[in-house]
Amino acid sequence: MLNRLLRTSWTKAMTPIAKAFLAIGLTPDVVTVVGTLGVCFGALAFYPRGEFLVGTLVITAFVFSDNVDGVMARLSGRQGVWGAFLDSTLDRVADAAIFGGLVLYFAGPGANLLQAGLALSCLILGMVVSYAKARAEGLGMTCNVGIAERADRLLAVLLATGLVGFGLPVVVLTVVLALLALASLVTVIQRMATVHAQARAAQC
């Protein structure tokens, strides 16, 4: 949902930055890798210690590269299978680092197994959401449905985590993680239903 709403305006905003990166010799692949490493650093260096605000600021700064690399690829004519594969694969790494950092905190210093379980559920279900789409496309079907796409999940968890780091009670993050886990589960079911309908139609 958020992807579709922001794609055009966000691309326009990122275009000057993409042009600047290309002008100094950076490639889309380099930006993709550096962005993922930055997200992983922010999530795994700060979240497990409960430094939610700093971690979120670092992650947010590097999450922008997820949009910049695509704009760079279009501007430089380097769009291709490898770039798309690299971007999608490293997106999963970044997502796992964010929710994994929360799991480490709540399973350790945060000492809250409910929140640890919710963060772990978000991590697992988020991976299944992405896998369902990739597998469907690999079988020649489409699967662009769901109430909790990647951009929606990232915005929700980063906003909630940052606000908790800013001083809001941790129950805010608990509620958001629970809603994200539920929304991700619903999205998995939606995608399975969509593929099932296409598979049955193909047999008729």
Residue 130: CB atoms within 10 A of its CB come to 18
Per-residue pLDDT, 129: 93
Q: Quick one: which of 184, 181, 51, 39 has its CA closest to 119? A: 181
Domain CATH number, residue 38: 1.20.120.1760
Catalytic residues: 91
Angle between the N-to-C axes of helices 171-203 and 113-138, in degrees from 0 to 180, rounded to the nearest 10: 20
Q: How many domains does the chain have?
A: 1
Asked whether 123 and 100 are in contact (CB, 8 A), the reply is: yes
Range of 153's domain?
2-203
- The region that residue 50 occupies, defined by phi over 0 for left and psi between -120 and 50 for alpha, beta otherwise, is left
Kindly report the CA angle at 5 between 19 and 37, in degrees rounded to 5? 50
Q: Quick one: which of 17, 29, 101 has its CA closest to 61? A: 17
- Residue-by-residue pLDDT tens, the chain, 204 positions: 555 555 566 677 778 888 888 889 888 889 999 999 999 999 999 999 999 999 999 999 998 776 788 888 888 877 778 888 998 899 999 999 999 999 999 999 999 999 999 999 999 999 999 999 999 998 999 888 888 888 889 999 999 999 999 999 999 999 999 999 999 999 999 999 999 999 988 887
Per-residue pLDDT, 84: 85
The HSE-up count of residue 85 (CA atoms within 13 Å, CB side) is 4
Per-residue pLDDT, 113: 94
* Alpha helix ranges (H) inside 139-170: 150-166
Mapping DSSP to helix (H, G, I), strand (E, B) and coil, where does residue 165 land?
helix
Tell me how far CA of residue 89 lies from CA of 32, 60, 106, 163, in angstroms: 10, 19, 26, 29
Kindly report the CA angle at 39 between 49 and 175, in degrees rounded to 5? 60
pTM of the model: 0.90
